[in-house]
Chain A
Amino acid sequence: MSEPIPPQKKSDEAGAEPLTPRREGRIRACEGILRSRFGQRGTQAGHRALEQLRLQTSAPARIDNSRRKWLLPLAACVIAGVMGFLLYRSAQPKVESIAQLRASAKAVLIRNGKETAADTGAGLMAGDRIRVQDGGAATVVYPDKTEIELVAGTEAAFSAARSSAEGKVIVLDRGTLHASIAKQAESRPMWFVTPHAEAVVRGTRLKLALVDQQTRLEVTEGLVELVRKEERVAVNAGQYAVAREGVALASASSIIADPALTEDKTTLPKLKFDFEDGKRPALWVVGVIQAEPPREGNRFCLAGETTKDNPWSKVKISAGLRRTLFVHDMDLELSFDYWVDEKVGSLDFYVWNNTQQDSFGNFFITNLAQKKWTRATVRLARLSKEDGSKKMRVGDLINELSIQVGQEGGVLYVDNVEISRQHIEAPQEF
């Protein structure tokens, strides 16, 4: 624990005012706010106080002598109320639970700092946190049938409302969640909170992913408002928005056009490489830039490489072990131009799935056009394990992708490589 810094009478700051007790008080206030990390630290006190108050208020209260005449009618009312409550309670889940775990595998429930296995059927209290480990999943259901599905590698807190204008609050610390949200009261919408923005929801289906330094919101049905301080952006069904520090909030295709994002080398709504500057981009770890087999309008491409251990020519893009190349989704496509010689009859595709910690491939294209530049498009959702035991899941974090020839000694060139969504909405004004 840090010791308080003793206040000094003088300062070497040029022109500083004398340190009066009142100024000292203002500085102490600032120090407190800084120590609390702007109010982010130490928020368990309120939760603990409320728990204690609930215990206290559930104990019988003392009755003032002057009000004894009300005792009998009051007692009758209380008894009737208790009976009614018990009848009601028998048909309801526990009062203190805000939601219930409907399905859970390899998930941990964190309550007041203590970790236990998150068993199916367990009740969730305000402030509880769920962490889903690799290969696991958890589904949380609220009494109004709102469903939240946490995928592997996700951690989220199920908080109480922070003000009277809020309903359910879910704080996503990492990973991806899918939500199907029942109609919420207009005055108390549901809030999803991430470090980058908050989503205000009144009834919809959505996906929220927190990857590296940004939050991605995808809306399947209804309308969601993404909020950050004074910024607000409406995200309609079929659209998505990305929130990242230093980049203005925007929805749908407008984000694709944002140069700050298209140049991003971590997690992109779209990756595109034309190699026209004659330099190998840092993400490409296997492949050599070469003047390409001649065609109009293009100068350079990426040639496949072989190694002593791998005689099959290949190119590989990698974000490194700890970073993400892209977040898998059902509509992601890999498109590229290829040129292969007469030895090559097929191209294989592999990715490293960081979420499932496994390689996925088992997919190749044949009937290749040889010695001729040709455009190919591959749906990444078709990649799987060779024995069919696993499939890529929506929200999985992918950090490597390879394209490799199926025949030893074959020559491969690729160009205009792009990973993008099948359907990109036209820009819309809000």
Chain B
Amino acid sequence: METVRIGQCDVYEVLVREHEAMLGAYVLSIVHEPAVAEDICQEAFIQGFHQLATLKQKERFPAWLRTIARNLALAELARQKREVAIDPRVMEGMEDVFCALDRNPDGSLWQERAKKLAECVESLPAPLNACCKLHYFESNSAKQIAEILEISLAAVLKRLERARLAIGACVERRLVANDR
């Protein structure tokens, strides 16, 4: 980390490559729009580079980077007047999941660790699984999903809500509980 502080982009590049997948997912959990999330991640990495001197514990780098990104994301939401504030307890809940994924005893990629969530999605009953994939993976709106699956909008919303609750519970069991 010391060598990064004196401004070596090449060394910082390794940090960026290790954490960009995590940061992208984190910002997408706040702003939803992939293009906006990309811009925020880019800015967060740049600010992170310039503020590295303020980081005291190198193992805190991912959480520290998320703090920078969170501030940028909230500022963007405020600018868009879409959401002015998020309950700090909600942010703590998000950190629970991302901190659990930061732990890397086997030296695996973040993407591989994140795939534990895929097991949660796959364990959903088929109707919820289909809704979930159409919404999160293929960015379809609830209305579009209703048209694709030929079911009512209310049914889609209900299924998505059940899916997110079930995934949340599954992740708590698999990730957060182990982290406590």
Contacts and interface: CB of A to CB of B under 8 A. Distances in A.
B141 A29 contact: no
Residue of A42, A45, A53, A57 most packed against chain B (CB within 10 A)? A45
Nearest to A58: B9
A5 interface: yes
B127 interface: no
B34 A49 contact: no
Contacts of A35: 25, 28-29, 32, 34, 136, 139
Interface residues of A, number: 55
B21 to A, nearest CB: 3
Nearest to A229: B112
Given A42-B41, A49-B42, A165 B111 contact: no
Interface string A8-45: 10011100110111111111111111111111111111
A20 B28 contact: no
Given A12-B162, A53-B46, A38 B93 contact: no
Interface stretch (A155-163, A247-255, A373-381): A155-163
Interface in B94-146: 94-98, 107-112, 114-115, 117-118, 120-121, 132, 135-137, 139-142
A50 B16 contact: yes
A54 interface: yes
A238 B95 CA distance: 49
A388 interface: no
Contacts of A1: 32-34, 139, 141
Given A2-B135, A31-B164, A54 B93 contact: no
Contacts of A49: 16, 41-46, 49
Given A34-B132, A41-B24, A45-B41, A53 B49 contact: yes
Interface in B62-96: 87, 89-96
Nearest to B135: A2
A187 to B, nearest CB: 13
A273 to B, nearest CB: 36
A382 interface: no
Given A39-B21, A40-B21, A22 B112 contact: no
A8 B162 CA distance: 10
Contacts of B164: 5, 7, 27, 30-31
B147 interface: no
A146 B45 CA distance: 32
Nearest to B121: A34
A21 B27 contact: no
Nearest to B106: A230
A268 to B, nearest CB: 28
A145 to B, nearest CB: 22
A49 B13 CA distance: 9
Contact of A11 (B26, B46, B161): B161
Interface of B is mostly: helix
Nearest to A39: B21
Given A26-B93, A49-B46, A53-B46, A3 B141 contact: yes
B137 to A, nearest CB: 6
B1 interface: no
Residue of B38, B95, B108 most packed against chain A (CB within 10 A)? B38
Contacts of B30: 28, 32
Contacts of A33: 25, 28-29, 97, 114, 117
Contacts of B95: 25, 29
B94 A5 contact: no
A17 B137 CA distance: 27
A97 interface: no
Given A22-B92, A32-B27, A35-B136, A163 B171 contact: no
A3 B142 contact: yes
A338 B128 CA distance: 55
Given A30-B117, A49-B16, A42 B37 contact: yes
A162 B107 CA distance: 12
Given A30-B168, A163-B14, 17 more contacts: A20-B89, A21-B89, A25-B89, A25-B90, A25-B92, A35-B34, A35-B139, A36-B24, A38-B21, A39-B24, A42-B34, A43-B20, A46-B16, A52-B42, A53-B9, A57-B9, A160-B13
The 4 closest A-B CB pairs, nearest first, are A25-B93, A32-B29, A39-B21, A45-B41
Interface of B: 7, 9, 12-14, 16-18, 20-30, 32-34, 37-46, 49, 87, 89-98, 107-112, 114-115, 117-118, 120-121, 132, 135-137, 139-142, 157-158, 160-162, 164-169, 171-172, 176
Interface of A: 1-5, 7-8, 11-13, 16-17, 19-46, 48-50, 52-54, 56-57, 160-165, 229
15 contacts: A25-B92, A29-B26, A32-B29, A33-B97, A35-B29, A36-B28, A38-B111, A38-B118, A39-B111, A42-B34, A46-B42, A48-B38, A50-B16, A52-B46, A53-B49
